[in-house]
A and B are shown apart, each in its own frame.
Chain A
Amino acid sequence: MNNADTRILPSTETTQNIDRREFLKITGTGLLVAATLGVPDKRAQAAVSSNMRPDVGANLGAYIQVQADPANAQKNAITLYFGASEMGQGILTGLAQLVAEELQVDWTQIKTAFTPAGLIVDGKSAYGNPLFGYFQGTGGSTSMMAWYSAIRDAGATARQKLVAAAVDYFNTTALPPSNQPVVDASTANCVASGGFVYYKRGTAEQRQVLYATIASAANAKSAGALTWVGTSNVIGTRAKRIDIPEKVYGAAVFGIDVMVPGMTFATVVHSPTVGGTVASIPAAPTGSQLVPIPGPNGTTIAVGVVAATTWDAMRIANSLAIKWNANTSVDSAAILANAQSLMTTGTPSTNASELENVGDAVTAYAQATATIDATYQLPYLAHAPMEVMTCTVAINKAASPIECEIWAPTQGQDSCIYAAKGILGGATNVTVHTPYLGGGFGRKFETDYVREAIVIANAIGKPVKLTWSRTQDLRNDKYRPFNLIRVRAGGTGTGVDAAFSSLIYRNVSQPVNPGAEDAGALNGATGLSYAIPNRKVEYVRLLQGAPVGYWRSVGESCNVFAVESAIDELAKKLNITPVAFRQKLLASNASGLAVLNKAVSMSTSTATNGSATVPSGSARGIAYMEGFGSIVALIVEIAMDSTGKIKVNKAWCAAAVGKVINPDIVEAQLQGGIAHGISAALWGGVTFTAGIPNVSNFSNYRVMRLPEMPLVTIATVDVTLPSRLPVGGVGEIGVPCVAPAIANAYATLKNIRVRTLPFYPGSTMGGL
C-alpha cells in the first residue's frame, strides 16, 4: 500500500483559502462564469471599480473558473469560488459536485476556494446568500437550497460556452485526422466530456480540444438556452469530501490555526457575572499588554491580554486581579419565575409571524373528550464547538482608507465587515477571510470575539490572533434560549377514531433578535402539517435572561420537543399508539406519511438493524418534524444502563431532503445531528446563580462520547418537499426529533413523562 498515492497534498491542490492578493492574480485568465443571483448591476459595477474583481462585468455570487493548470498546460484547472463557510456540513463538497457534473468532469478535477468577503453595496454582499437577502452568511441549513439552481446554471453556462468556443476552434484549426479545420462543427455535433470538447465523438472524424485551450475565447460566446445535464456521475454519489484529506493530515487551516506575519497572541477575560463590567484593571504584568474591551454606554466589559504566546496570555489572564462590577441579574430561579408569570399573564406578540390562529381552539378544547395540559421546560444550551472562539486581525493604518483584514472562522462574513466598520470607521476597507470552522452550530454567527480582536489589534498596532479559553467560551456563549412551553391539547374519539381537535400552545422565551420580530421562536410549532383543525399558537417574549443566539436547529430544538411530546401524551389518553396517531394526523400529507412510515419500517426490519419486536427491557419512541425545507421522522430505542440512566442504543432516521447531492454527507449530518440531540436531551444545560454560569469546561458540560453513540440507520425518502424546492436543508434537521423521541420512549419504558430537560442536569464527565 503506497500511502503517497492516496495523499492529496494539502493546501495547494485541495481547498485554497486564497488571500486577496492571490485572488486578484486569478482574474482575467480562462473562462469566468458567475452564478447569477439577480444581483443588481450596481454591485457588479462596484466590484469592477473596487478592484475586487476587475474584469468580471457579470453578476457575482459564486463563480466558476476554467483555465489551464499553471503547472501543466495540458490539464484543466477548474475552480469553484463561493462564499459559504465550511464547518463540517460538507457544503464545499456538495457545491463542487454540482460543478463537476455540469462540466462533465471527474470529481477529482474540481478545486474550490472561499472568496474573501468585503464588498457590500446597498446592504447586499457580492457573495451573499440569496436566502439571507444577500447577507453573506452560512446557516439555517440553507446553503444547498440557496445555491443549487444558481450553481447548476453557472456550470451549464460554462459547459455550453465551452462547446460554443470549441465549435469555432474546430472550424478554424487544423487538426488530425485530416490536418485541416472542419467546416461543419456545431453545437449539435460537439459535446463536452471529461475535460474535453469533442467533435463527432466516437467516429473516425473525432477531434477534441482541452477546455483550457478555448476557455478564454469562451468568455465572449453565448451559452444559449441552458440545459442541465441528465447524468448523475457525481451528483448523488458518495463523492469523497474535498476537505477531508487535509483535515486528516493535520494540514487544514482552521480559524485558530491562522498565522500572519508579525502576529502576536491574545486572549480575553470576560466578567465572571453575566453583564458585569470592569471596575479597574491592574498594571500589565511583564511580558503582556492589557487592552480594555469597550461595551455599551462607555463601560468596559472585558480585558484583552496580549502576550508572546496564547498560553502566556491565558496564564497571565488567569492571574490578573481585575476588579469587576458584578451583575447578579441573570439567575435561573428568577428567570423561571418570570417565565411562569408570563405564561399566565404575559401579553402574546401580535406580530403575524409570532402567532397562529386557526379555527376556534379554545372552544374545541373545552369540548374535547380528553385533554392534556402539559408545561415543558428546556434549558439554556451552550454550543461548545471543539474550536473555541478565535479571530485574527491585521490593520494597516498607513493605508488610505485604513485596511482591516480579518481571518475568522465565521458563519457571518458580513457581520464581521459591519463590526470592523463600526469600530474603525465606515470608510475602512475590510476583507474577511474564512478558514475552516472547527464547528459552528450557530455560535460563529456572532461577532463578539471578532470585535475584541479588532479592538486589540487596533490598540497594539500589530496583527493579533485572539483565542478564548474553553472556560471563557462556555461562560460567554450566546446560549440556545431557555424555553417554557405550555401545551393544552384536546382530542375526541378513541382508538382508531381518535382525533386531535385542538391545540393551544404558548411559548415563553427570549427572542434571539431582541427588538425585532422573532419568528424563529415558534418554528416547529406553527404551520404544522398535522390534521389539527383548531390551533392557537402564541409567543410571549421573555425580556430578561442570559445572552442568547442561534443554536443548531434554533426554534425547532424546543418546539418539536413540546409538540411531539404532547402528541404522545394525548395519544395515550385517546387510547391510540403514537405511530398510529401520527399516521392519522398525516393522512392527507403523502410526503410526511411516507417519511414516517419509512422510519417505522426500518425499525422493524432486521435488514436495517431493526426488529419486529422491541427487545425486553427496551422501549422505542418516535418523533416527526418538518423544518429547514425537509421532513424527518426518528425512532429511538432506549434501555436503562447499569447506573439506572438512559442509554440510547439504536436510532432509525428517515429524511426527505429533496435531491440527495451526496448521500454520504447527508448520512453524516443526520448521525451527527442525532448525537448532538442526545447530548442536549440527556445532559446539556447551563444554569445561572446570581449571574454566574454553572459551567467551566467539558468536565461539567457533559457531551456524548463514543461509547454513548447509538447505532444509527438512515434512509432518505424521495418525495415532494413541502417547499416544492428541489433540495431541502440537512445540517440541522437531525437534532430536534431526538429529545422528544427519547422522552416518548422513556414514558413507554418507565411510565414516567419527563417534560423538563435535560434528563440528568449537573452531569459531569471524567478526564482522560
Chain B
Amino acid sequence: MPTVSLNVNGKDYPNIQVSSTSMPLLWVLRDILGLTGTKYGCGVEVCGACTVIINGQREHSCVFDVGSAVGKKVLTIEGLTRPDGTVGDATGAAVQKAWIDNQVPQCGYCQSGMIMGATASIKAGKHGSSIASDLIGKHICVCGTYQRIKNAVKTL
C-alpha cells in the first residue's frame, strides 16, 4: 500500500497508508485522519461542502488527489480556530466569528465549506459582498441560510 505524508493545519501526518495516491484528500482527512469537519456532499465538485485551502488556494477535496497534497500546506475548518480555542488562521477565525455573530448555520452541514470558501475568497483579496457573489455563490445550502451568509460576509 502506498503511503503519503501530509501537513494539515500546521501538523505533520507522516506515513499515512492509502489504497492509492489518487484517493481524494477528502476521505483521507475524514476516514483516516479523523478530521471530519470537511464534509462530503456530492463528490463531483458541485456543492462546495468539501472545500479546503491548499497552499493558500481554495480546492475541492472531493476531487483533489491526496498525492497532489504532499509537500503542501493543507488548511481545513479545524485549523481556523483550533480545538483549544487558539487562532490557527486569523482570516478564517474572523469568518467563524461573523458566522456565530450572525447565527448563520441551520443544520450546519454545508457551513464548513462555506466558511472555507469565504476564507479563501478573502485571502484572494475579496471583501464584503464580493465574497458572496464570488465563490460562495457556487456553494449549496439546502436549508437556505443564504440571507445570513450575505449578512455575515458584508462585515468581512
Contact = CB atoms under 8 A, between A and B. Distances in A.
Interface of A: 1, 3-4, 6-7, 9-10, 87-90, 238, 240-241, 243-245, 247-254, 256-257, 259, 265, 287, 308-312, 314, 384-388, 436-441, 467, 469-470, 664, 668-669, 671-676, 679, 697-699, 703-707, 709, 711-712, 765-768
A647 to B, nearest CB: 14
Contact of B41 (A287, A312, A440, A470): A470
Contacts of A6: 97, 100
Given A470-B42, A672-B144, A705-B140, 16 more contacts: A4-B86, A89-B106, A238-B103, A248-B96, A249-B77, A250-B112, A254-B36, A254-B39, A254-B108, A309-B32, A310-B27, A310-B30, A438-B107, A675-B143, A706-B149, A766-B138
A254 B140 CA distance: 18
Contact of A768 (B34, B45, B100, B143): B45
Nearest to A439: B107
A575 to B, nearest CB: 37
Interface in B29-45: 30-32, 34-45
Contacts of B45: 767-768
Contacts of A709: 144, 146-147, 150
9 closest Cβ contacts across the A-B interface? Answer: A250-B37, A675-B144, A438-B109, A88-B107, A247-B108, A250-B77, A88-B106, A709-B146, A672-B144
Contacts of B7: none
Contact of A676 (B40, B81, B144): B144
A704 B149 CA distance: 14
B46 A697 contact: yes
Nearest to B36: A257
Contacts of A470: 40-44
Contacts of B115: 248
Contact of A439 (B44, B76, B84, B143): B143
Contacts of B147: 671, 709, 711-712
Contacts of B106: 88-90, 668-669, 672
Contacts, number: 224
Given A386-B39, A698-B140, A252 B108 contact: yes
A767 B27 CA distance: 20
Nearest to B103: A664
A669 B35 CA distance: 29
Interface of B: 19, 23-24, 26-27, 30-32, 34-49, 60, 76-78, 80-81, 83-87, 93-94, 96-97, 99-100, 103-112, 115, 132-133, 135-150
Nearest to B112: A250
A89 B107 CA distance: 7
24 contacts: A4-B87, A249-B37, A249-B83, A250-B36, A254-B39, A309-B31, A386-B143, A388-B40, A436-B107, A440-B107, A441-B142, A668-B106, A669-B106, A672-B106, A675-B144, A697-B42, A697-B44, A698-B41, A704-B144, A705-B139, A706-B136, A707-B133, A709-B144, A709-B146
B109 A439 contact: yes
Given A439-B143, A470-B41, A672-B144, A705 B138 contact: yes
A247 B105 contact: yes
A675 B48 CA distance: 18
Contacts of A766: 46, 138
Given A265-B31, A387-B107, A768-B48, A706 B146 contact: yes
A705 B31 contact: no
Nearest to B110: A386
Contacts of A439: 107, 109, 142-143
Contacts of A287: 19
B100 A240 contact: yes
A88 B108 contact: yes
B111 A3 contact: no
B41 A675 contact: no
B132 A706 contact: yes
B108 A4 contact: no
Contacts of B96: 3, 248-249
Contacts of B19: 287, 308-309, 312
Most buried by A among B96, B105, B133: B105
Contacts of B32: 309
A421 B59 CA distance: 44
Contacts of A441: 142
A256 B39 CA distance: 9
Contact of B148 (A240, A247, A311, A668): A668
A253 B78 CA distance: 13
Contacts of B44: 470, 697-699, 767
A706 B150 contact: yes
Which residue, of B37, B108, B115, B147, has the highest number of chain A Cβ atoms within 10 A? B108
A664 B101 CA distance: 12
A249 B42 contact: no
Given A9-B83, A247-B105, A250-B77, A668 B34 contact: no
A9 B136 CA distance: 27
A253 B139 contact: no
Name the residue among B46, B103, B142 with the largest chain A CB count within 10 angstroms. B142
A705 to B, nearest CB: 6
Contacts of B49: 386
Given A248-B100, A386-B39, A9 B111 contact: no
B108 A436 contact: yes
B109 A387 contact: yes
A364 to B, nearest CB: 41
B142 A384 contact: yes
Contacts of B60: 768
Contacts of B110: 386, 438
B24 to A, nearest CB: 6
Contacts of B41: 386-388, 470, 698
Contacts of A7: 81, 85
A341 B45 CA distance: 43
Nearest to A5: B85
A536 B24 CA distance: 58
Contacts of B80: 249-250
A674 B145 CA distance: 10
Contacts of B38: 250
Contact of B140 (A247, A253, A703): A703
A257 B150 CA distance: 28
Nearest to B41: A386
B109 A672 contact: no
A388 B109 CA distance: 10
Contact of B103 (A241, A469, A704, A768): A241
Contact of A248 (B27, B46, B111, B144): B111
Nearest to A86: B107
